[in-house]
Chains A and B, each alone.
Chain A
Amino acid sequence: MVSAISNADPCFARRGLIYAWARWMVAAWLCLLTGSACAQAAKPSEYDVKAAYLLNFGKFMRFAGSGQAAGGAFNICILGRDPLGRSMDQIAANETVDGRAVHVQRLGDATQGRSCQVVYISPFEAPRLREDLAILEGSNALTVGDTPDFLERGGMIQFVLQADHVRFSVNLNAVDRTHIVLSSELLRVAVSVEGKPNRGGAR
């Protein structure tokens, strides 16, 4: 298996960046000393992966019709208490999506999410999830979440942890209510897809 990610791995824990970096160095030294036993030592944490996914979702989606004006920043917003920490900022730094500079915004309130293209709803928002989704409805933002009932409640993409890998499921019904079109490439690697791709309307 390649690129395995595990919380149980002694080399990994979710901490601040400097601490993580220091641990990475230690792990690297260990690896040098013990050979290839810790080949996956340099693997990123679960939230690093999720942060990267949030950016990459942006690269596999587009906005049909007049959904979003071209130009301007591509905003990745984190609603609620941020579990991703600085890895999101690091990953998004100097990145572009369709030629638009990526900005990371942290929202305290779902109403601020109107200008976002991707909204990650923190697990800490679970109690207010339904309200948040309702507010974001019609804002042409791709909603991404962690909670197990995220799709049932009207979210679009839900992270799933499967065999130590971060995967995701898609609710196309929710997506189709917006002008967002998800690439078939993205759907191909999804764990599961609810609803059928709307080939006509939104495009």
Chain B
Amino acid sequence: MRFWNSQSIAGKLTRMNLMVSATALLFAYVAFFAYDLYTLRSDLLSSLGTEASIVGANSVSAIVFDDQQAAESTLSALKETPQVEWAIVVGQDGNPFASYARDASAKPVLQQSLAPGESRHFWRIGTKFLIGSRIFLQGKPVGAVYLLAETTALKESALQFGWLSAGILLLCYVIALLVTAATRNLVTAPLSGLAETAQIVSRDKDYSVRAAVPRTSDELALLVRSFNEMLEQIQLRDHEVAEARAVLEQRVQERTAELSAANKELEAFSYTVAHDLRGPLQHISNIAFLLQGMSAASNPEERELVDKLFEGSQRMSVLIEDLLNLSRATSTPLRRIAVDLGHTAEEIAGTLKAEDPGRRVQFKIAKPTRAFADEGLLRIVLQNLLGNAWKYTSKKDPAVIEFSSKDGAEGTVFFVRDNGAGFDTRYADRLFRPFQRLHSQSEFPGTGIGLATASRIVERHGGRIWAESTVDQGSTFFFTLPYGGNN
């Protein structure tokens, strides 16, 4: 069955034809042979019957007038019929009256006899036939004749016919095979062409090939034509898709170019603005500082106004610094090196403590905390995260601020944890957008730019930043950096 299944259609067709022809011819042979046997047998019986009738008719007078010699001379004519072994003429009384034997030494013995009223009967004795035929004279039975015939001739001619017809049928079989081989291509050539084409298409994804269409107008031609049409449509669609993609690609490139140009312009603009604002602001700040000194003794109202001026200029300075940081975070090229962020964090913590020595804050900084990143930019990130932690724990005593890292699937995960005010996690996604703040300026002052800057820096490193928090329990800010050397 496996062999059968693995064959090509051409092989299957051949095999099918072989089997069909063989079956048909075999049945034909059997039928012919059986028919021939039957015909030979009935021919033999009918010729024997005729022989018996003639012998009987010629023996009537001999029987009636008791002339044994005449009867035997009639019977002796049977020597012209070689298959008759012996013959016996029986008189009216049922006793043998005259006999003939081909082999003179043989003594014919008659064991069968016709039943009364029966005019003819055949017996089969081994391989021989015995025929009994009643002899009539003017409608009255006067005796009977019995012939024993051997069937060797029958067997021989059956055998001869068997061989002959076997030979003829074999010849027919061979001719059928040749015809099959000659006509097989009519069916298989288009099919194998189709299969080959399909194989090329599926292997090379080449939809430009076409199967040869047979010149006939049958189902095969229809199949091949449909297949070709399908290929053409696929090709057409492919072409359309490629065109559309090219147009899209071009459009995307154009848009990207436009966008990045606009972005650069914007950045350049904001950087310039921030940078150029710093000079005049410094003047204002300086003057405000001088005014504070000069108006130390003047009235409290003046003093308050000067303080507010100085405070405002300071805040604006911070804001400008933050904006410049944000701008730098976007535009400065990355210079990654192996760096101990624990060391950086400690430096920042030192600065924070120095700025407000009155607070009791416990820093837990893991050292070393290694990363592969731009040191300057990561310093900005940590300044923002630790600064936030410092700021939002201002109402806790003692405040605890932790910085550490752990290994994660995307890279090293760094985190800054505090036990400060926390925030509502529903707004967690707003944290990292510029100028978005969850707390009021009076509660916790800030520019709303710091986390946006940190997020941008982490993203530029190929990492991710997020935060978890519980209100009044504290918050944890996570960011990931890819493992060193990968990028």
Q: Which residues of A contact B (CB under 8 A)?
A: 1-3, 39, 42, 49, 52-53, 56, 59-60, 95-98, 165-168, 183, 185-186, 188-189
Contact among A52, A97, A168, A186 for B138, CB-based, below 8 A? A97
Contact B138 A98 (CB under 8 A): yes
Does B270 have its Cβ within 8 Å of any Cβ on chain A? no
Q: A59-B137, A189-B62, A189-B65 are in contact. List 7 more A-B contacts (CB 8 A).
A: A2-B96, A59-B64, A98-B138, A165-B66, A167-B67, A183-B61, A188-B61
Contact A56 B96 (CB under 8 A): no
Q: Which of B308-331 contact A (CB under 8 A)?
A: none
Does B60 have its Cβ within 8 Å of any Cβ on chain A? yes
Instruction: Give the nearest-CB partner of B71 in chain A.
Output: A189
A104 CB to nearest B CB, Å: 17
CA distance in complex: A53, B58 (Å)? 18
Does B185 have its Cβ within 8 Å of any Cβ on chain A? no
Instruction: Give the nearest-CB partner of B137 in chain A.
Output: A59
A52 contact set on B, CB distance < 8 A: 64
CA distance in complex: A52, B62 (Å)? 13
B66 contact set on A, CB distance < 8 A: 3, 49, 165-167
Known: A96-B138, A97-B138, A188-B70. A167 touches B93 (CB 8 A): no
B60 contact set on A, CB distance < 8 A: 185
Instruction: Give the nearest-CB partner of A1 in chain B.
Output: B68
CA distance in complex: A183, B138 (Å)? 13
Contact B97 A186 (CB under 8 A): no
The interface size of chain B toward A, counting residues with CB under 8 Å, comes to 19
B58 contact set on A, CB distance < 8 A: 185
Contact B64 A56 (CB under 8 A): yes
Contact A59 B138 (CB under 8 A): yes
Contact B137 A56 (CB under 8 A): yes
Instruction: Give the nearest-CB partner of A97 in chain B.
Output: B138
Nearest first, the 5 A-B pairs at minimum CB distance are: A185-B61, A189-B67, A56-B64, A189-B65, A189-B70
Contact B65 A186 (CB under 8 A): yes
B90 CB to nearest A CB, Å: 10
Instruction: Give the nearest-CB partner of B65 in chain A.
Output: A189
Does B91 have its Cβ within 8 Å of any Cβ on chain A? yes
B97 contact set on A, CB distance < 8 A: 2-3
Instruction: Give the nearest-CB partner of B97 in chain A.
Output: A2
B450 CB to nearest A CB, Å: 149
Instruction: Give the nearest-CB partner of A98 in chain B.
Output: B138
10 A-B interface contacts by CB (under 8 A): A2-B68, A2-B96, A3-B68, A56-B65, A59-B138, A95-B140, A97-B138, A168-B65, A185-B61, A189-B70
B61 contact set on A, CB distance < 8 A: 60, 183, 185-186, 188-189
B421 CB to nearest A CB, Å: 150
Does B180 have its Cβ within 8 Å of any Cβ on chain A? no
B96 contact set on A, CB distance < 8 A: 2
Q: Which residues of B contact A (CB under 8 A)?
A: 58, 60-62, 64-68, 70, 91, 93, 95-98, 137-138, 140
Instruction: Give the nearest-CB partner of B90 in chain A.
Output: A2
Instruction: Give the nearest-CB partner of B62 in chain A.
Output: A189
CA distance in complex: A117, B95 (Å)? 32
B101 CB to nearest A CB, Å: 16
CA distance in complex: A67, B68 (Å)? 33
A7 CB to nearest B CB, Å: 16
Contact A167 B65 (CB under 8 A): yes
Contact among B91, B137, B138 for A3, CB-based, below 8 A? B91
A35 CB to nearest B CB, Å: 16
Instruction: Give the nearest-CB partner of B73 in chain A.
Output: A188
Contact A42 B93 (CB under 8 A): yes
CA distance in complex: A53, B64 (Å)? 7
CA distance in complex: A165, B64 (Å)? 12
A49 CB to nearest B CB, Å: 7
Instruction: Give the nearest-CB partner of B89 in chain A.
Output: A2
CA distance in complex: A188, B140 (Å)? 21
A189 contact set on B, CB distance < 8 A: 61-62, 65, 67, 70
A60 contact set on B, CB distance < 8 A: 61, 64
CA distance in complex: A53, B97 (Å)? 17
B73 CB to nearest A CB, Å: 9
CA distance in complex: A98, B139 (Å)? 10
CA distance in complex: A188, B62 (Å)? 8
A186 CB to nearest B CB, Å: 6
A144 CB to nearest B CB, Å: 13
CA distance in complex: A60, B65 (Å)? 11
Instruction: Give the nearest-CB partner of A59 in chain B.
Output: B138
Instruction: Give the nearest-CB partner of A166 in chain B.
Output: B66
Instruction: Give the nearest-CB partner of B91 in chain A.
Output: A3
A99 CB to nearest B CB, Å: 8
A59 contact set on B, CB distance < 8 A: 64, 137-138
A49 contact set on B, CB distance < 8 A: 66
CA distance in complex: A155, B473 (Å)? 169
Contact B95 A3 (CB under 8 A): yes
Instruction: Give the nearest-CB partner of A42 in chain B.
Output: B93
A97 contact set on B, CB distance < 8 A: 138
Instruction: Give the nearest-CB partner of B99 in chain A.
Output: A2
A185 contact set on B, CB distance < 8 A: 58, 60-61
A117 CB to nearest B CB, Å: 14
B140 CB to nearest A CB, Å: 8
A76 CB to nearest B CB, Å: 15
CA distance in complex: A30, B68 (Å)? 27
B70 contact set on A, CB distance < 8 A: 188-189
CA distance in complex: A189, B138 (Å)? 18
A183 contact set on B, CB distance < 8 A: 61
CA distance in complex: A52, B142 (Å)? 12
CA distance in complex: A60, B64 (Å)? 10
Instruction: Give the nearest-CB partner of B98 in chain A.
Output: A2
Contact A2 B67 (CB under 8 A): no
A188 CB to nearest B CB, Å: 6
B453 CB to nearest A CB, Å: 147
A165 contact set on B, CB distance < 8 A: 66
B322 CB to nearest A CB, Å: 153
Instruction: Give the nearest-CB partner of B60 in chain A.
Output: A185
CA distance in complex: A183, B93 (Å)? 24
A168 CB to nearest B CB, Å: 7
B284 CB to nearest A CB, Å: 168
CA distance in complex: A78, B203 (Å)? 119
CA distance in complex: A84, B342 (Å)? 166
